[in-house]
Structure 1
Amino acid sequence: MKAAVLFEAKTPLSIEEVSVSKPSPHEVLIRTAAVGVCRSDLHFVDGAYPHPMPTIPGHEAAGVVEAVGDEVSSVKVGDHVVTCLSVFCGHCEHCVTGHMSLCVDSSTKRPKTAPPRLSMGDQTVHQMLNLSAYAEQMLVHEHACVAIDRDMPLDRAALIGCAVTTGAGAVFNTTDVTPGETVCVVGCGGIGLAAVNAAKIAGAGKIIALDPVAEKRALAEKLGATHSIDALSETAADEVVEISRGGVHHAIEAVGRPQSAATAVKVLRRGGTATILGMMPLAEKVGLSAMDLLSGKKLQGGLMGSNRFPVDIPRLVDFYMRGLLDLDTIIADRMPLERINDAFDELRKGDTTRSVVVFG
């Protein structure tokens, strides 16, 4: 199969022929239809996060099941599926207590003594984030994908695999926004825009979007933001506090920078909660001051929107099919796999929302 391979951090991906193994028990072979280009991939490509090389990035995908292993029971050949990097085992403490996105059980991976899922000749190609989706095919554990309505367009469905699961999940699962509460979203890329849209669906009162790019602020307002503010303004946080009459109930950070995390904390009202979604540089820390703690403010992470994706993803698909979830607005560009490096260049500029690589 054709795939975009990263041989070394801080170098362009190379389109190569890669061999994919046959499905073992509990594995599913998927013909990739579409993959979103997420900033999380860029962190690995640019070397901010380490990963064994060579590897194939890509983790926000949708496709069609081509083959299944002997013991697969959750999907069948011909199913349209969305993949999710937070593969779960189903039997560890995290899974059985309802925190499936935190599962790290090694049983979802191939044993080290088994042949690799991906290879180039005698060389192993390391699977990234359980998926490696910048490829014509994906070989994944059955708990890394879920069947969806076949009427759902797969280029839009791909976004649900990460951006929407993370952004909307932060609203529906991690923060549990109550109708009428105020929400501030810091950063209006794919994840932030999904959070804005979800806050509208959840019945939030004021939804305030912060971003330095005017076009992104306009998109946020189209998706449900009641107010938008230039994140680079020296008075941005003060404006949020004024608009929300004392600060917001929930602040969602969707950028991955210490400054934006600090803003998320600053705009909270007493007892408010800041949820950090962005991938920060590994050496950075985010915290609360003594006065923040005395004010009852809370700070939390929200890995992959605290998802239960076998349930959440079909529901998000249903939201789209009913016209509640607007995925069309989030997509900025569609392109073939050969343009993957162009997509990363656009991400580095910071002006785009979501590019989608489409196959065939």
Structure 2
Amino acid sequence: MRITAALLEQSGGHALPYAQTTPLQLAELELDPPLPGELLIRIDAAGLCHSDLSVVNGDRARPMPMALGHEATGIVEALGSADDADFAVGDRVILAFLPACGECARCRAGEPYMCSAGAAANGEGRLLNGGRRLHHDGCDVHHHLGISAFATHAVVDRRSAVKVERDLPPEIAALFGCAVLTGAGAVFNSAAVRPGETVLIYGLGGVGLSALLAARAIGVSTLVAVDPSAEKRAIAESLGATALAPDAADAALPALFPGGGADVVVETVGRAAVLTAAYQAARRGGRVCTVGLPNPAERFDIPAISLVADGKTLIGSYMGSAVPARDIPRYIALWKEGRMPVEKLLTSINDLGEINRLMDELAQGRAIRQVMRP
């Protein structure tokens, strides 16, 4: 079938503003029908994430050409096989950006977010079953994280989809696929924050604010949020932050906590210098959880002795250490109860044709989560 998708021909080398240089072009692509174990999804909302921007600006090298987009919701329009009985035409699904094979050592150990087969497929721009279902002018187009959601339709592995209630607002449902899954998961799963602990969050984009929502839902005692944007700090305060700071390197941050540092520090910026500041801001025996994806050339430098002498724990969190089929319904339930007001993350709802302008807004730190409707 013919679809419209946002196509990136080259990663990196595009000058800002993207609204003028237009690295992403809306193109007509050919989409193959789903194979057994796959689903055809009509996309009805997709969120713009910094991971998308990182492919455009070259921070995250990916095979080209690629149809971007990995945070989305949509409706099942076709099944690749009658054996896919967990899904039916008309189901609403939220898409998760790492399909888990269920067979590798990490999947068997209960860590599907570390699935080696899923990671390999994502790195190669293909689906988990192998190959690519997108084509343009006779050439294959690579899938972004198994989804390619900046489009009217997508074919995804069934293991990338989580069935949810049909009546969820699409613009809210989409956010659970990455921003909430990653940020809330870092707090609930990776760092295992406990009620009464103190938490410091660096970066107040969609992932950082999702982490903040989760920390408030748990019931932490002190919650400090750091971001250079006054607008984002104001949002964080409205969502329950007890103190705010504009500078990641602010030497006064540890003094905001009774123990001379936070019990848990969550870093979502994706810069080595910020991670260094986050590590320093944790108390002795504290936990530092990093979620951001820096440029691979960046290096993180700390005194090696501090890991032992200060007893700190450094935790990497990919996809919020999530089991999507377990965690997405859990986070939706918290939203419905009013304990995690995810709708506050929504900056704007836009047409897909505005994607380059929206990339500019994201690159300049003026947006939290912009959702596009094809």
What band does the TM-score fall into relative to the shorter chain? over 0.9
Q: Distance in 1 between matches of 2:308 and 2:135?
A: 50
**AA partner of residue 110 (structure 1):** N
Post-superposition CA distance 1:28-83 (Å, at most 9, x none): 11000111100111111111121111111110101111111113233221111100
Post-superposition CA distance 1:106-163 (Å, at most 9, x none): 6862335xxx311114110111111111111111000001001222111111111001
Partner of 1:14: 25
Superposition map of 1:222-237 within 5 A: 222-231=238-247, 236-237=250-251
Out of 286, 292, 303, the residue aligned to residue 272 of structure 1 is 286
Instruction: Output the aligned Cα RMSD.
Output: 1.5
Unaligned runs of 5+ in 1: none
Give the secondary structure class of the aligned counterpart of 1:94: helix
Q: Distance in 1 between matches of 2:319 and 2:258?
A: 27
Q: How far 1:187 moved relative to its partner?
A: 0.5
Q: Is 2:129 aligned against 1:110?
A: yes
Give the secondary structure class of the aligned counterpart of 1:105: helix
Give the secondary structure class of the aligned counterpart of 1:18: strand
Q: Is 2:53 aligned against 1:42?
A: yes
Superposition map of 1:76-91 within 5 A: 76-91=88-103
Runs of 4+ in 1 over 3 A off after TM superposition: 240-245
Give the secondary structure class of the aligned counterpart of 1:329: helix
For structure 1, which segment, 36-45 or 145-154, has the greater mean C-alpha deviation from structure 2 after superposition? 145-154
Distance 1:242 1:324, change over 3 A: closer
Superposition map of 1:260-339 within 5 A: 260-289=274-303, 290-339=305-354
Partner of 2:167: 151
Q: Is 2:198 aligned against 1:192?
A: no
Q: Distance in 2 between matches of 1:81 and 1:205?
A: 35
Q: How far 1:245 moved relative to its partner?
A: 3.4
Query: Percent identity over the alignment?
Result: 38
**AA partner of residue 339 (structure 1):** E
**AA partner of residue 86 (structure 1):** L
Post-superposition CA distance 1:290-317 (Å, at most 9, x none): 2343110111210010000011011111
CA contact (8 A) 2:273 2:300 kept: no
Out of 37, 45, 64, the residue aligned to residue 53 of structure 1 is 64
Post-superposition CA distance 1:294-353 (Å, at most 9, x none): 110111210010000011011111111221111221111111000000111011111221
Q: How far 1:255 moved relative to its partner?
A: 0.5
Q: Is 2:228 aligned against 1:212?
A: yes
CA contact (8 A) 1:237 1:263 kept: no
CA contact (8 A) 1:208 1:240 kept: no
Q: Distance in 2 between matches of 1:271 and 1:216?
A: 30
Give the secondary structure class of the aligned counterpart of 2:342: coil
Q: How far 1:287 moved relative to its partner?
A: 4.3
Q: How far 1:250 moved relative to its partner?
A: 0.5
Q: Distance in 2 between matches of 1:240 and 1:330?
A: 27
Partner of 1:32: 43
Unaligned runs of 5+ in 2: 15-22, 122-126
**AA partner of residue 94 (structure 2):** V
Partner of 2:263: 249
Partner of 1:340: 355
Partner of 2:76: 65
Q: Distance in 1 between matches of 2:348 and 2:337?
A: 23
Partner of 1:74: 86
CA contact (8 A) 1:237 1:266 kept: no
CA contact (8 A) 2:129 2:157 kept: no
Distance 1:292 1:109, change over 3 A: closer
Give the secondary structure class of the aligned counterpart of 2:178: helix
CA contact (8 A) 1:178 1:204 kept: yes
For structure 1, which segment, 246-255 or 149-158, has the greater mean C-alpha deviation from structure 2 after superposition? 149-158
CA contact (8 A) 1:287 1:299 kept: no
Q: Distance in 2 between matches of 1:304 and 1:133?
A: 17
Q: How far 1:262 moved relative to its partner?
A: 1.0
**AA partner of residue 4 (structure 1):** A
Give the secondary structure class of the aligned counterpart of 1:278: coil
Give the secondary structure class of the aligned counterpart of 1:328: helix
Post-superposition CA distance 1:198-224 (Å, at most 9, x none): 000111110110011111011111222
Q: Distance in 2 between matches of 1:315 and 1:217?
A: 27
Post-superposition CA distance 1:89-115 (Å, at most 9, x none): 112111111101111216862335xxx
CA contact (8 A) 2:4 2:27 kept: yes
For structure 1, which segment, 289-298 or 306-315, has the greater mean C-alpha deviation from structure 2 after superposition? 289-298
Give the secondary structure class of the aligned counterpart of 1:341: helix
**AA partner of residue 251 (structure 1):** V
